[in-house]
Amino acid sequence: MSMIKFYHMPWSRSSGVRWLLEELGVPYEIELMNLRAPGGAPESYRSIQPNKKVPAIDHDGTIVTERAAISIYLSEAFPEVGLAPAIADKARAAWLTWLVYSDSVFDPVVAAKSNGIDFMGGRYSYGSFDEMVANLERTLSSRPYIAGDSFTSADVQIGSGIHYAIHVLQVLPEKPVFKDYLARLQARPAYQRAAALDAELAQSLAR
Ligand SMILES: N[C@@H](CCC(=O)N[C@@H](CS)C(=O)NCC(=O)O)C(=O)O
């Protein structure tokens, strides 16, 4: 039986990977990285994640870092669950594009916005906040899931980001199309399990 060690901090960017692990229904054990401890995660963690950030996974000795890479790796390691469109599937390109977009465009523009940083979109690879919102709105108005008609691991990442940007950072407008999309995702049992487990872990850290 293969084992996954999951380097995680509840209510952080690694929470989407927890949701993905729950969707996959595979056993995993959490290595808690308390980012709120003085100095953050221990220095020894740098040998796993060079920037000492979560998430990271160790799958039977294979280490993967960066959310997009972890999502691709895990969905393909467990293909029977069907969270990665096959190479011949039309949705494959959109799945890859949106997984990468969520880290390389969505995350930096949302972080800049929430930190009040104003920048010229044309000078940065990720472009402007308004262009990102328009792209997201256009795509989700045309199909129920980010890569097409079916739920994939790209929905886990972009959905986690949209939830965080609307409800925690409060920088993304709660447009009906985003609200309906989140409702579809949050109805999933794996989402609910991951959210409850993360809340429990976050509370145990606060004690
Ligand atoms: N590019 C990384 C970013 C992950 C990231 O920003 N993680 C934050 C948690 S929300 C972190 O670990 N921060 C701790 C620190 O920088 O010390 C990914 O997508 O996996």
| Cα–Cα nearest to 172, from 102, 98, 91, 71 | 102
12 within ligand 1 shell (Cβ under 6 A): yes
- Are residues 73 and 149 located together in one domain of the fold? no
Quote the Cα angle for 107-115-199, to 5°. 65
Residue whose Cα lies nearest atom 1 of ligand 1: it is 66
- Are residues 41 and 95 located together in one domain of the fold? no
SS3 106: helix
Express each pLDDT in 90-143 by its tens digit.
999 999 999 999 999 999 999 999 999 999 999 999 999 999 999 999 999 999
35 within ligand 1 shell (Cβ under 6 A): yes
- Are residues 105 and 155 located together in one domain of the fold? yes
Host domain of residue 70: 4-82+190-206
Residue whose Cα lies nearest atom 18 of ligand 1: it is 66
- Cα–Cα distance for residue pair 106/83, rounded to 1 Å: 21
103 within ligand 1 shell (Cβ under 6 A): yes
Pairing of strands 28-32, 4-8: parallel
Express each pLDDT in 178-190 by its tens digit.
999 999 999 999 9
- Are residues 105 and 166 located together in one domain of the fold? yes
- Are residues 143 and 198 located together in one domain of the fold? no
Number of domains in the chain: 2
Give the amino acid at 176. P
- Are residues 97 and 170 located together in one domain of the fold? yes
The structure's pTM equals 0.97
